[in-house]
Structure 1
Amino acid sequence: MTADIAVTGLGMVTPAGLDTQSTWRAVCDGRPTAATADQLVGLPVDFCCSVPPFDAAQSLGRRTAYRLDRATQLVLMATEEALHDAALDSRTWDGARVGVVIGGGLNGAQTWETQYQRLRDSGPRHISPLLIPMISPSTPAGEVALAHQAHGPSLVTATACASGATAVVVARDLLRSGQCDIVITGGTEASNTPLIATGFAQLGALSTRCDDPAGASRPFDRARDGFVMAEAAAVLILERANEARARGRKPRALLAGCGSTTDAHHPTAPHPYGRGAKQALRAALAEAALSHQDVAHVNSHGTSTLRGDAVEAEAISTVLPSGPLVNSTKGVLGHSMAAAGAVEAALTVLSLQHSLVPPSANLDRPDPAFDLDFVTKVAAPRRLDAALSNSFGFGGHNVVLAFRTP
């Protein structure tokens, strides 16, 4: 089944705010959110980007909030906003035709660590009987389905930092195959914990600017020294465009093409010449029937790592020589890993809608090796008919999403 796939709703919970509008405003203003975190004090890297405080019991109900890990709480909150934005009511839809695909990463990290601490300090009687469902990788998708009586396929994708983008690709496939009429898709991550932060620090992946957290995430800057951990969730509602219009809903944007490849090169490092990234870019363009000249904007993966940014910059300049506007919103939001691809897909949709490309925060001195048209300091107004969102992950996962205006 071939059909235009529409994005009809967005929901976001990020370090910049508990809704889509707050996040969009912060990234357009270029306001970094990284700060020292109480739970990380005393560690080699003691800062991250955290979601603002919220009352999970009030948002989700006390009993529901109590039995869920933070990552699942975040994605449920984002789903509520996305469904409202799409003007969909799960109490009235045919749940058999609704699917859920959520990108997951280190799901349950917070629960793992707190429950192990209880076991060590107080013994097995103090372990929650809900431990296993709280940490199960399948739980975020299952809980979204449960909350909204979605009886179609319910899946979790795990492609490291590309997981949220991979979820969007799978959701698109469910619509094109005719298995679903509506798919709730996105990604979630909540692993700003001592063990995970230490693990990334030991790997040498994190910025060590403990004296300047707000200036630590510096994608494509010559002084970049690693990424900043973040938590977030983002949800996109996908439907076939003709069916969305038939119910009176104008698409925010169309998902025109997707490219997915694997480097098969190294457990954590990208292919040195960006082979897989370039293949994914070309595949997304081909499926969307776009030339490089049609693409006015690339929301890059841009994590602020030395090697990752260099490989991505070379891939973009090679495949898109026409010079689209390039940004990275991780200077503001940090790197939310499994959620990042969904967050950035949503922001790319908003850029198309508003004809505006947010700036890359902290990109004060672009690396002279990169031949790209970076947006810095202030948001750039620009007519945007088509844009790409890049996501790359450990294990060599490469996903590129191509969006265009309806």
Structure 2
Amino acid sequence: MAERRVVVTGIGTINPLGNNIEEYFRNLEKGVSGAAPITHFDAEKFKTRFACEVKNYDPNQYFDRKEVRKYDLFTQYALIAATQAVEDAAFDFDKLDKERAGVIWASGIGGLKSFFDECLGYAEGGMTPRFSPFFIPRMISDIAAGFISMKYGFMGPNYCTVSACASSNHGLIAALEAIRYGKADVMITGGSEAAVNEPSVGGFNSMQALSTRNDDPEHASRPFDKDRDGFVVGEGAGALVLEELEHAKARGAKIYCEFVGGGESADAHHFTAPHPEGIGAMKSMRDAIKDAGISPEEVDYVNVHGTSTPLGDIAELKAVKGVLGDHVYDINISSTKSMTGHLLGATGAVEALACIMAITKGIIPPTINCENRDPEIDPKLNLTLDKPQHREVKCALSNTFGFGGHNATVIFRKF
């Protein structure tokens, strides 16, 4: 069967830089930090007391009270971003074949807050254990995909991808392949996470994975800086509507870009640390480039995973150089996590949107907070420091890597 081309026809987000696409793109361009003291819980006793939270969020603006009871926060974010993307795609639902439309949604952790609250309630209870009837469906990671499909009646492929911080890119790739190989004509895909809570922050603190720059949270996420001390946890969601090219053209859809390829690999090295030479990351990028049918020299922008961890940043840049060779000096590289923080299972979707911004607007979002560049980093690399850069971007590549050694790379191209 001939592969079918896949395009992006709708986008949506809610994340620490904005509660819609317009706010997100504007603050990416301005180099705004989303980090601030934690408001979701009393973090006074924690080593890290700040995060990149969604701002000005009131669930009652989006859902009625009965719905809020059913949805963990990660599902709320998923439904908000997906709704924006579907509205942006502007389908005529009377003509859309819903049996040919599906949802593949990602989350690295799912309803962690719901799980934590129910366990607290059990521990504080009396002789008879009491659990909410919504406990299990609020908690499970696949439920967001299910609720999105129910909202729109989409009966095609429907499931969740879970691979820690690579979850969203794996979901995007699965949705791409569902359309490519004829299983669907339309897919809603993306990811959501709501991990600014006690067990998440406490757990990452115990691993010494989070920055503890409590006196200066806005500058805590500092990829490539020699004084970086860990990532800043974030929350939110990103959504893309993918569509088979001829299907999109037939209905006169607005096309943002083409989704041309994806690559996946494993480090097979360590359960939390990346391979020091970036071997798995190189395989993921090379496979994505091969899958896209392009040459390395066609890549103009790389949105790196760039979490601001001591090991990860160095290993990834080694991998990018290993794949792109001397062409690496002609491209822009940036880490938008310097602004959004690390959205864990949602990060790939939110960073795919940053790539779409680069392609459609010709604006490379900056890497902020790199004040003292790590001397181990090649000084000739253009890390797009401090300010956005304007250039034509025909092809953008985005990496995500997850605990367990999971790697996933996606590539978008100007249509």
Coarse TM-score class (shorter-chain normalised): over 0.9
**Residue of structure 1 aligned with 2:353, choices 346, 358, 369:** 346
- Does 2:312 match 1:308? yes
1:2 aligns with 3
The 8 Å contact of residues 219 and 328 in structure 1, kept in 2 or not, is answered as yes
The 8 Å contact of residues 79 and 235 in structure 1, kept in 2 or not, is answered as yes
**Residue of structure 1 aligned with 2:88, choices 85, 92, 106:** 85
Mean Cα displacement is larger for which, 312-321 or 299-308?
Answer: 312-321
Q: Deviations over 1:265-303 (max 9, x none)?
A: 111111121111001111111122222221111011000
1:15 aligns with 16
Mean Cα displacement is larger for which, 327-336 or 286-295?
Answer: 286-295
CA distance in 1, matches of 2:313, 2:58: 37
Q: Deviations over 1:56-92 (max 9, x none)?
A: 2331333222211000000000011001111125565
2:384 aligns with 375
For 1:13, give the aligned amino acid: I
CA distance in 2, matches of 1:219, 1:103: 25
**Residue of structure 1 aligned with 2:99, choices 91, 96, 100:** 96
Q: Deviations over 1:224-246 (max 9, x none)?
A: 11000010101100011122111
CA distance in 2, matches of 1:197, 1:92: 46
The 8 Å contact of residues 107 and 191 in structure 2, kept in 1 or not, is answered as yes
1:388 aligns with 397
The runs of 5 or more residues in structure 1 that have no matched partner are none
1:150, distance to aligned residue in structure 2 (A): 0.9
User: Secondary structure of 2:302's partner?
Assistant: strand
Q: Deviations over 1:126-150 (max 9, x none)?
A: 5322111111122111111111111
- Does 2:124 match 1:115? no
User: Secondary structure of 1:115's partner?
Assistant: helix
User: Secondary structure of 2:401's partner?
Assistant: strand
1:329 aligns with 336
CA distance in 2, matches of 1:303, 1:331: 8
2:146 aligns with 142
TM-score normalized with structure 2 length: 0.95
CA distance in 2, matches of 1:60, 1:354: 33
Q: Deviations over 1:187-237 (max 9, x none)?
A: 110011111111101111111111111110001111111000010101100
1:379, distance to aligned residue in structure 2 (A): 0.7
TM-score normalized with structure 1 length: 0.97
User: Secondary structure of 1:345's partner?
Assistant: helix
User: Secondary structure of 2:200's partner?
Assistant: helix
The 8 Å contact of residues 4 and 181 in structure 2, kept in 1 or not, is answered as no
Q: Deviations over 1:107-130 (max 9, x none)?
A: 111111222222222445653221
Report how many aligned residue pairs link the two structures. 406
1:398 aligns with 407
RMSD value, Cα = 1.3
**Residue of structure 1 aligned with 2:200, choices 196, 199, 211:** 196
The 8 Å contact of residues 90 and 149 in structure 1, kept in 2 or not, is answered as no
CA distance in 2, matches of 1:240, 1:391: 25
- Does 2:236 match 1:232? yes
2:293 aligns with 289
User: Secondary structure of 1:26's partner?
Assistant: helix
The 8 Å contact of residues 168 and 346 in structure 2, kept in 1 or not, is answered as yes
Mean Cα displacement is larger for which, 48-57 or 263-272?
Answer: 48-57
User: Secondary structure of 1:373's partner?
Assistant: coil
For 2:89, give the aligned amino acid: A
Identity %: 37
User: Secondary structure of 1:217's partner?
Assistant: coil
CA distance in 1, matches of 2:92, 2:27: 29
CA distance in 2, matches of 1:377, 1:257: 30
- Does 2:370 match 1:363? yes
For 2:321, give the aligned amino acid: S
For 1:6, give the aligned amino acid: V
The 8 Å contact of residues 57 and 63 in structure 1, kept in 2 or not, is answered as no
1:56 aligns with 59
CA distance in 1, matches of 2:28, 2:171: 23
2:50 aligns with 47
For 1:346, give the aligned amino acid: L
- Does 2:269 match 1:262? no
1:159, distance to aligned residue in structure 2 (A): 0.9
